[in-house]
A and B are shown apart, each in its own frame.
Chain A
Amino acid sequence: MQRVLWWIAFGLFIAVIVLGIFLFSLVIAAHPEAAAFVIGFLGFWLFANRLIFGYGGIANAAKAFLDGEIPDKSEIAQKIAKSPEAAQLQKLEDLSVAALLSLWLSSLEPFKYAYYLGFFLVFLIATLFELNIISSIVIGPIAEAVMLGAAIPTLLVWGLELLASYYVGKAVVKALEEMKEEKSEAGSQNGQQNQ
């Protein structure tokens, strides 16, 4: 029974893919710019996905921390480390929430730069065609459409990055102030004990 269901699901999957390719090739034949736009959008979203959800998660967690909630440290540690075991080994859960958040923010840095490099290359090619430094009636509009499709996830990444770094900066300031207060309290208690 399970086998039959599996085969039916597999057949449906193949049918959907074949139908999708068929429709997509029709679109390419009729509107190559629209197809290039979709490819640019989906392709760049594939690479931006980690950044978008990463920065969104950081901004959410930092906002929750600022509002007085204590986010789950082990969850954040799993985002930074390769695996839960590695997170335990690195003793990430001993760190404060603000430190974990800024670690998470900086762990996304290489992905961000690779992503921006990819977008810059696409943008550069589109600009070269747009300014007629290289000219081609066929490829020019397609390069521009890919660039415009890629610009949408890039804008999301950029906006969320600004938001996440703002909230993490706030969270770090708040954590430092709390640390100072604790220290001064501890110092005054020690002084009382000495007397």
Chain B
Amino acid sequence: MKRPASILILVSIIALILGWGIGSFFTQRTIAKVIASIPGSPIVIDAKYDKENHSITYSILNPGGVPLTIVDESFVFTPGKNSKEQGYIVSHVPVHAVLPPGVVTRVELKLKAGTEKLQIGDAVLATFTYVHPLSTDLYTVAHPFKMGVGGKNVAEQKKGNKGGK
């Protein structure tokens, strides 16, 4: 085998790499814990109108590390040219939808019962009020939705606004 000096150098190099690995492991775990304690603001990535249930299903991503809870839904219905329905506002429908961290959750918004099905050009501005466990404040996210053209339910590409801070 080699000389003792070369054995010692070899062991020292591996010890340095090992120490580096241990240090970066604990640094990474600390950072991961910090990130996991930061609440994010939900992003509505998709909205689809369900004709049979007369409801809109929103896909909401929670990009933060703590679960968010939607406690309240409000929406404003604005008729388009094709609709015979009058405009109306439904506010403060209590819900309890938990958005787990890092995943997309589907949240259903029921439109007013007894009203007509959505026509092309109709707009629904939905406002979700949510809370997170770190404070007692209420936050909102608003998402404008417009029935698409060609019979397809195309969601507006506009992102929901962040709530007040």
- Please report A residues at the B interface, Cβ cutoff 8 Å: 33-34, 37, 141, 144-145, 148, 151-152, 155, 158-159, 162-163, 165-167, 169
B149 within 8 A of A: no
A-B contact count (CB 8 A): 41
A/B interface sample: 19 pairs, CB < 8 A: A33-B25, A33-B26, A33-B29, A141-B29, A145-B25, A148-B25, A151-B22, A152-B18, A155-B11, A158-B11, A159-B10, A162-B1, A162-B10, A163-B4, A163-B7, A163-B8, A165-B1, A166-B2, A169-B1
Bin chain B's interface residue count. Answer: 10 to 19
Cα distance A132–B62 in the bound complex, in angstroms: 23
Cα distance A62–B28 in the bound complex, in angstroms: 44
Chain A residues with CB below 8 A from B7, complex form: 159, 162-163, 166
Name which residue of chain A comes closest to B32, CB basis.
A141
B15 within 8 A of A: yes
Main SS at interface, chain B: helix
Cβ of B11 and Cβ of A151 under 8 Å apart? no
Q: A163-B7, A166-B1 are contacts. A144–B14 as well, Cβ < 8 Å?
A: no
Chain B residues with CB below 8 A from A166, complex form: 1-4, 7
Cβ of A34 and Cβ of B26 under 8 Å apart? yes
> Closest CB of chain B to A36's CB: distance in Å?
11
Residue from the list A141, A155, A165, A169 in contact with B18, Cβ < 8 A? A155
Chain A residues with CB below 8 A from B1, complex form: 162, 165-166, 169
